[in-house]
Amino acid sequence: MPEMFTVLPPAEALKVLFDHLPLEIREESIATAEALDRVLAGELTAPSSLPSFPRSTMDGYAVRAEDTFGATESLPAYLTLIGEVPMGHASALAVGPAQAAVVFTGGMIPPGADAVVMVERTQKLDAETIEVLRAVAPGENVIHVGEDIQEGEPLFAAGHILRPQDLGGLMALGITDVRVAARPHVAIVSTGDEVVPPEQEPGPGQVRDINTYTIAGLVARAGGVPEIKGIIKDDYSSLLSAARSALEAADALVISAGSSVSTRDLTSDVMNELGKPGVLVHGVAVRPGKPTILGVCNGKPTIGLPGNPVSAMVVAGLFLTPLLQRMQGLKNPPAQRRETARLAHNISSVPGREDYVQVRLVEREDQLWAEPVFGKSNLIYTMVKAEGMVCVPLDSNGLHQGEQVEVELF
């Protein structure tokens, strides 16, 4: 009789895996322009202040605010025009008492001036004279040096994921290269005598490879680089040699299928042969996904996913995604996008196991409903037709129709 595995709750299983992995993060320098969604390897501080010169926020006249005090439409202040501040150049002008200089939005405030009067609040009398029809306060319509960011101010902590605005902020400071965590390369090996490549017409008893592509997608989403290694027959020495060369060239290895307890299920034996300590966890208290295998071979993580397509995706979400986040030194992994909805049908479970059920989100009677898409874990379209998953927690024996649930969106 094949040995049945002992199961660990998902959180405990993940901790066992993490406890056996080195913490160091592979780093590289890349162009900031290419760094969207990458994870910063070290903290960054501002090398200079922004803006580096005082700037106008309006088209108008740079003035000394005190020269405009009390100005109204009926009693304007008269100022002498001394010229124009050219865009993209330092001002050669200095604004003295009762003087004004033309400035444009974003242009430099000339020395002497401390405010800008909008052009619509003025009247031009002749080439040298303007009337100011409304007073401005000191600093009005001016961006001060360092108002955006001060030299030496912390910008980002290590582990921060770079967003589009962050790239703009770095470029504004001339930080054109950044040190980031290298994207972990994840080798994906599919196994199964019945599994054929998608471009092939399956013969009787054969199925097209699904897991390679769902898992590759999840790897890419988590910031990793999927390395597709193809389909290997259920043969120990073929699988061992494919897994060994795949792991050598990658940072992590995922083997799809062969995780259960039949004579065809070779994944755990192969993992134990790949390096020490080998298999750490075989069996997780989750449905679908119970036959999950987690291991570490010579410092590299290896995951054996259950072959059923839904199970493979659920398990990858539970273990592979957090693993890749950790390998990139992510401090605060992006929060799972969630939606609160009312459950449209009962979901049964048993205490001691986490259950994941795909749901469709449907708007009805001014409410958002989560409709379970029930089906065996060997299907794929239950996932395709769903918008997310509802988790029935470890200690629960089910969720009731009408209950508020959190849907983890795909």
Of 223, 224, 182, residue with least CA distance to 27: 182
Helix 267-274 / helix 236-248 crossing angle, nearest 10 deg: 50
Site string for ligand MOO, 317-356 (x = CB under 6 A): ----------------------------------------
Residue 60 binding target from ligand MOO, ligand LQZAQKY5, none, CB below 5 to 8 Å by type: none
Residues 171-190 that bind ligand LQZAQKY5 (CB under 6 A): 190
* 192 lies in the site for ligand LQZAQKY5, by CB under 6 A: yes
Strand 207-208 to strand 347-348: parallel, antiparallel, or no bridges (unpaired)?
A: unpaired
By CB under 6 A, is residue 308 in contact with ligand LQZAQKY5?
yes
Report 361-380 residues binding ligand LQZAQKY5 (CB under 6 A): 377-378
Minimum Å distance from CB 23 to ligand LQZAQKY5? 30
Report residue 79 as tokens: 């100022």
For ligand MOO, which residue of 264, 287, 360, 385 counts as binding (CB under 6 A)? Answer: 287
Residue 406 C-beta: closest distance to ligand LQZAQKY5, Å: 25
Name the residue with tokens 């006249």.
61
DSSP 196-225: E-TTSPP-TT-EE--HHHHHHHHHHHTT-E
Indicate the DSSP class of residue 3: P
Does 306 engage in binding with ligand MOO (CB under 6 A)? yes
Residues whose CB is less than 8 angstroms from the CB of residue 271 and which lie 6 or more positions away in sequence, other chains included:
243, 255, 278, 279, 293, 295, 297, 302, 304
> 350 contacts which partner out of ligand MOO, ligand LQZAQKY5, none, CB within 5 to 8 A by kind?
none
Of 136 and 380, the one with the shorter C-beta distance to ligand LQZAQKY5 is 380
Beta bridge partners of 408: 338, 389
Under the binding rule (CB under 6 A), the answer on residue 290 touching ligand MOO is yes
- The residue behind tokens 């020269």 is 67
The interface region with ligand MOO, picked from 44-52, 179-187, 285-293, 296-304 by CB under 6 A, is 285-293
Query: Distance (Å, rounded) from C-alpha 307 to C-alpha 93?
Result: 75
Judged by CB under 6 A, the residue of 54, 76, 283, 289 near ligand MOO is: 289
The CB density around residue 164, as the number of other CB atoms within 10 Å, is 9
Half-sphere exposure of 108 toward its Cβ, with a 13 Å CA cutoff? 16
Q: Which residues bind ligand MOO (CB under 6 A)?
A: 287-291, 306, 308, 311, 377
